[in-house]
Amino acid sequence: MTTKPDACPRCGSPRIAEILYGLVRPDEELTRELEAKRVVLGGCFVEKGNPKWLCVDCSERLGASAEWFKEAQAREKRANKAAEAETAESEDRRRRGCGTRGDCPNCGFSYAFDGKACSHCNFGHS
């Protein structure tokens, strides 16, 4: 069942939410969907047989399919790649000293280290 059901077969409620599994990177749209209970988080593990839909009123879990499983795996793979890229960028910035802070031995202020000088008093740091 990859198509969202019109109503819950157990209680008849039309309030059916999509269940997202795997590493989910929240953004504004997803936050709105979660708050409106149109989407719920199903956990980290993406496995065959996981339900795709949840009745918001009675918690009945509905549907699972091979097509849905492939979609969930692809979504998790994209999220993992984005997380790896973010981690690599952060590590690269750390290695280069970008964005790091420290106390300047000259003026005592917390300075932004750009590899050359204190951003407050221009005291050279090497």
Task: Give the three-state DSSP class for 10.
Answer: coil
Report if residue 70 sits inside a domain: yes
Mean pLDDT of 110-117: 58
Identify whether the C-beta of residue 99 lies closer than 8 Å to the C-beta of residue 115.
Answer: no
The whole domain housing 56 covers 16-95
Report if residue 83 sits inside a domain: yes
Report if residue 27 sits inside a domain: yes
Statement: residue 101 has pLDDT above 80: no
Percentage helix, strand, coil, to 5, in the chain?
A: 30, 20, 50
Choice between 123 and 48, residue whose per-residue pLDDT is larger: 48
Report if residue 89 sits inside a domain: yes
Report if residue 76 sits inside a domain: yes
Statement: residue 123 has pLDDT above 80: no
